Amino acid sequence: MSISLYEKEQLFKLDTKNTSYVIGIVDEEKFLGHVYYGAKLKDHHAGYLMRVNENPFVPSKNNRDRVSFLDSFAMEYPAHGLGDYRESCISIRTMQGNVGLSLNYVSHKITEGKTSFRNLPSSFGSREDCSVLEILCEDKTTGLQAVLQYGVFEDVDVITRSVKVINEGEEPVYLTKVYSACLDMDNKDFEAISLHGSWARERQIQSVPVSHGKYSVESIRGESSHQDHPFMALKTKNATQETGEVYAMHFVYSGNFKVQVQADQFDQVRMVMGIHPTDFAWRLESKEEFQAPEVVMVYSDKGLGQMTRTFHDFYRKHLIRSEYKNKKRPILINNWEATYFDFNTDKLISIAKQASELGIEMLVMDDGWFGNRYDDNRALGDWFVNEEKLKGGLKYLVDEVNKLGMKFGIWFEPEMISPDSDLYREHPDWAIAIPGREASLCRNQYVLDLTRQKVRDYAYECVAKILRSANIEYVKWDMNRQLSDIGSAELPADRMGELYHRYVLAVYEMQERLIQEFPHLLLENCSGGGARFDPGMLYFSPQIWCSDDTDAIERLKIQEGTALIYPLSSMGAHVSDCPNHTVGRVTPFETRGYVALAGTFGYELDVTKIPEEDREMIPEQVAMYHKYNDLVREGDYYRIASYAENHYFDCYGVVSKDKKEALYTFVQVLNRPNYHSRRLQLKGLDPEKVYEIEGEEGTYTGEILMKAGINIQNPWGDFKGKLIHLTEV
């Protein structure tokens, strides 16, 4: 049993293979306190860590200092308004306008196995590899209850957290904040790692010291966003890829979020994560419940690398559901950077014909195939085929592509509406907007109010009708702007604070309908590139477009930050044209292939127009993908060197679970005069095994390759790459 209750000590102990998480109940009022999270404990006698016999004492012993107790006790799920002045996890407003909440232990339940939440993406596990603890807490004054939910995934060293709030009172209450998880600890000279960015610069790794005050990473854009990511890790100072402690949280949600670390007056730290409270107010009627999204928590005492591999294993085994998660994805060619809006049936078939001869397996038709869509200023919402472009219709095109032995995929942006569209002219109230205020445009488009059932039914049916009309096996689902002007023509005034969350739930509902009706569909989510690359989306699609920046050198940083927490199989990555359409850089076609190999692998160019020497390399890259993809998709990821840190070169590797095979990718970004080769210590090998390096003579033990390293001759020039393939002798 991975969950134990020690009644005498009033402690819950949650154990995975290598970690323990301990919760305590203290005082007559049954406050729930955080005791310990870290390396696995054999002993459970850890209650002393809650310091209840130190000043300030628990209220039953010294109620004159109740506030002092509340403001210093390591709370498991802190509430707002009664004396804990640190960041709270939950706050309410009653019908009388009062705030304040005290959630105290009532009962608990332990079950084996875990199913997903009903309306939210969340993890799942069998009885053999997961247990669930639910702790019921109650505020006696309001009748509000909170069920603290813990999923213990023993096999992969993960604990998930969430909370379900139930109104057992007689009157409605307004939830004005509902976070999903809290972690109260002593400060270990922590540094906070987060992922920041912008369009075409997503998920750049940043590390800052945790100091007194609050440091937060957040989005109020209606999506998880390009700018910040719903992730934070606290690492001990000087922790490396292999050493040091790491405490990480990752949010399984695709909307507004906040993750914050706070160092308080007593040098304790509190890390919280959940739905962003700005513009959030959920009216919870009597007997109704509110389910908060899930947080994935990982502890590592073997550095960031172990944290990374834990997240990868967890998402591959307990979050991604697609049938594609354990098999190769078809090598696709997308026509966006090849043609933009300027294409027709003949042009697409010419690209497909050339691509099929080179071994590419799927053609994806991107934006511009519908309505009056000749540029990005119009026609979103008018999802009918433009037969001026596609002579003979969509089915004819798909059939012709299929005759070439290729699959066919298509692009949609079903959440959006253009002012210049038949749909908007007929239903202007279907756009999210504030009455009486001119709505803000972004990319000359508005957002559909998917919180309305008839609107999302329309949007879903537009997609489904197209998919039913032809043999379409892949969908790229895009979202090219954030939410603003938050207003709905249907929501009453006292529920307008629910719009952001209801919107996300609506997107989830639509995507769930899609994969249920089309269970063999390969769905790839996208949002202006990587603005909605989050675990919530991963639940519906096994891959997400990593970034609109396809430049191989820019992608080194983007993919490093993404791979810090996501499996390589989830990263949409393509070989694109040069000069690159985002930054104008020219890189070798070979290097572009090496970098794209670390993701799903595909092409984003006009194969009929690229230089002949590049075109001749495509069959080699196709063979490279088929040779290595099983290893890349399923193996353990190791970071060897970071171009983001050293500014000269990048190196990462993937090692099979049985340690019999490894592939390391080396990219020299900038060359510099050096008489000597570059020496790199490899990672992840079995020190006792003997390996050979493909293309070289000799054999090496894993020990010498990891401790002493290998020599890599500096390539002549910039932006040059090399693959190092090892197999056990």
Cα-based angle 326, 329, 335 (whole degrees, multiple of 5): 160
82 CB-contact burial (10 Å; exposed 0-12 / middle 13-18 / buried 19+): middle
Once rounded to an integer, what is the mean pLDDT over residues 130-136? 98
pLDDT at 250 over 90: yes
Catalogue the active-site residues: 478, 548
**Which pLDDT value is given to residue 676?**
86
Cα-based angle 457, 219, 507 (whole degrees, multiple of 5): 15
Average pLDDT along the chain: 97
Peptide bond just before 579 cis, omega within 30 deg: yes
Q: Locate all alpha helices (DSSP H) within 635-708, ordered by sequence.
A: 643-646, 702-707
Q: How many CB atoms within 10 Å of residue 612? A: 7
Angstrom distance (rounded) from CA 217 to CA 68: 28
Residue 148: pLDDT band (50, 70, 90) is very high
pLDDT at 1 over 90: no
Once rounded to an integer, what is the mean pLDDT over residues 567-587? 97
**Which pLDDT value is given to residue 674?**
79
Angstrom distance (rounded) from CA 476 to CA 411: 5
Q: 3-state secondary structure string, 456-522?
A: HHHHHHHHHHHHHHCCCCEEEECCCCCCCCCCCCCCCHHHHHHHHHHHHHHHHHHHHHHHHHCCCCE
Write the pLDDT tens digit of every residue in 258-270.
999 999 999 999 9
**Which pLDDT value is given to residue 203?**
98
pLDDT at 52 over 80: yes
Write the pLDDT tens digit of every residue in 472-502.
999 999 999 999 999 999 999 999 999 999 9
Once rounded to an integer, what is the mean pLDDT over residues 402-424? 98
**Which pLDDT value is given to residue 714?**
84
Q: Provide the percentage of residues in the chain whose pLDDT is more than 70.
A: 100
Q: Provide the percentage of residues in the chain whose pLDDT is more than 90.
A: 97
Write the pLDDT tens digit of every residue in 615-667.
999 999 999 999 999 999 999 999 999 999 999 999 999 999 999 999 999 99
**Which pLDDT value is given to residue 651?**
98
- Identify the structural domains of the chain with CATH numbers, from first to last: 3-318 (2.70.98.60), 334-634 (3.20.20.70), 640-728 (2.60.40.1180)
CA–CA distances in Å: residue 618 to residues 206, 409, 531, 609: 36, 20, 30, 13
pLDDT at 238 over 80: yes
Beta strand segments in 669-716, E? 678-680, 690-693, 699-701, 710-712
Residue 696: pLDDT band (50, 70, 90) is very high
Write the pLDDT tens digit of every residue in 6-36.
999 999 999 999 999 999 999 999 999 999 9
pLDDT at 402 over 90: yes
**Which pLDDT value is given to residue 239?**
96
Question: Which of 121, 124, 120, 182 is CA-nearest to residue 148?
Answer: 182
Write the pLDDT tens digit of every residue in 506-552.
999 999 999 999 999 999 999 999 999 999 999 999 999 999 999 99
**Which pLDDT value is given to residue 675?**
75
pLDDT at 459 over 90: yes
Once rounded to an integer, what is the mean pLDDT over residues 311-318? 98
Beta strand segments in 276-422, E? 282-284, 289-291, 294-300, 332-334, 362-365, 407-412, 416-417
pLDDT at 55 over 80: no
Strand ranges of the sheet holding 407-412, from the earlier edge strand across to the other edge: 571-572, 543-545, 522-525, 474-477, 407-412, 362-365, 332-334, 602-604, 575-576
